[in-house]
Chain A
Amino acid sequence: MRILVVDDHDIIRLGLKQLLESRSGWEICGEAATGNEAVMLAKRFKPHIIVMDIGMPELNGIEATRKIRELLPQTKIVVLTMHFSDQLIGEIVGAGACGYILKSDADRELVAAVETVASGGSYFTPEAANTLRGPHGMPASSAFERRITPREREIVQLLAEGKSSKDVAVSLGISVKTAETHRANAMRKLELHSITELVRYAIKNKIVKA
């Protein structure tokens, strides 16, 4: 089974490799340190499973998951995060991930998560499963996911990381005018009135690291 490991910290990628390569028949086909690299390597190696960190620069793990699932619907993705966030669970599932575990539990749960997801199931920590059910037993989703488009989400992250509209345009291969239009639309939909509010929003919703 081919597994792609994605985390911006090489020390964590090493730990993941140690954990996963100990299983017979599991091969780490590649490592990525950013969401963009993950998408590129996923297209190249067509892994069976991707173990994906959320908090990464330029393109976070949720957006990378979304892109990869569109390109490679057969590839299953297990998301790893440092901290549990009920605000993000709906987005993670909405992006197409089949599993969610905390990094602190990875040594105990990652192998089981990968096995479960590889055989067609889903694997979520108990808190994540409860959040997904919602208070009335109905699936939950996040306001962020509902309100803005995938492109607008990408732009919110890049702006919150300190990039100018021009930098955003270059990063995404679009015109500055288009980038500014997406920015204006995202801020209007999220009712944000300044970049400071946007950054605060992005940190609060764990779109970027504090």
Chain B
Amino acid sequence: MRILIADDHELIRKGLCFILESHKNTEICGEASNGQDAVEKATELNPDLIILDVTMPGLDGFAAARRIRTFLPEVPILMLSMHQGSHVVKEARQAGAQGFVSKGDAGHILVKAVEAIFEGQTFFPT
């Protein structure tokens, strides 16, 4: 499973890479540091999953998700955010994401979220 990760903080991308690459059958095929970069890399790499931070400079994660859905409708998107209010989760759904994880929980539920999405399920906080 090839995963593209997009977050403007390299510290967080390092943490995500560490968690995901220690999971079998998972490979980080690319990294992006802003929404525009995420859209371009998604087009170039055609990953199996995209993990998108919500708050990024220029094009934010929601706008990037909407653009990516138009030309890669089959690629699932998992949104990531520091905030976990219901309005943020709602906006993630409306942008076409299949899941949402708060960064505060990412360390212990990210793999579960990725596995659920790969099995065709959605993964949103209750």
Question: Complex: how many Å from CA A11 to CA B82?
Answer: 11
CB distance A11 to B10 under 8 Å? no
Q: Which residue of A lies closest to B57 (CB)?
A: A104
Number of interface residues, chain B, beta carbon within 8 A: 19
Q: Of A8, A9, A18, A82, which contacts B14 at CB under 8 A?
A: A18
Q: Of A10, A17, A18, which contacts B108 at CB under 8 A?
A: A10
Q: How far is the CB of B113 from chain A (nearest CB, A)?
A: 13
Q: List residues of chain A with CB within 8 A of the CB of B15.
A: 10-15, 18
Segment 125-165 of A: residues with Cβ below 8 Å from B: none
Q: List residues of chain B with CB within 8 A of the CB of A16.
A: 11
Q: How far is the CB of A33 from chain B (nearest CB, A)?
A: 10
Q: List residues of chain A with CB within 8 A of the CB of B19.
A: 11, 14
CB distance B104 to A15 under 8 Å? no
Q: Which residue of B lies closest to A209 (CB)?
A: B82
Q: CB-CB contacts of B1-28 with A at 8 A, as 1s and 0s?
A: 0000000111111111111000000000
Q: Which residue of A lies closest to B19 (CB)?
A: A14
B107 interfacial by beta-carbon distance below 8 Å: yes
B106 interfacial by beta-carbon distance below 8 Å: yes
Q: CB-CB contacts of A23-60 with B at 8 A, as 1s and 0s?
A: 00000000000000000000000000000000000000
A203 interfacial by beta-carbon distance below 8 Å: no
Q: List residues of chain B with CB within 8 A of the CB of A11.
A: 12, 15-16, 19, 103, 106-107, 110
CB distance A106 to B10 under 8 Å? yes
CB distance A14 to B18 under 8 Å? yes
CB distance B11 to A12 under 8 Å? yes
Q: List residues of chain A with CB within 8 A of the CB of B107.
A: 9-11, 13-14
Question: Complex: how many Å from CA A9 to CA B84?
Answer: 13
- Given A9-B82, A16-B11, A103-B9, 4 other A-B contacts at CB below 8 A? A10-B106, A10-B107, A17-B18, A18-B15
The contact sample of 24 A-B pairs, CB cut-off 8 A, is A9-B103, A9-B104, A9-B106, A9-B107, A10-B15, A10-B108, A11-B12, A11-B103, A11-B106, A12-B11, A12-B12, A13-B15, A14-B15, A14-B18, A14-B107, A15-B9, A17-B18, A19-B11, A103-B9, A103-B11, A104-B8, A104-B9, A106-B9, A106-B11
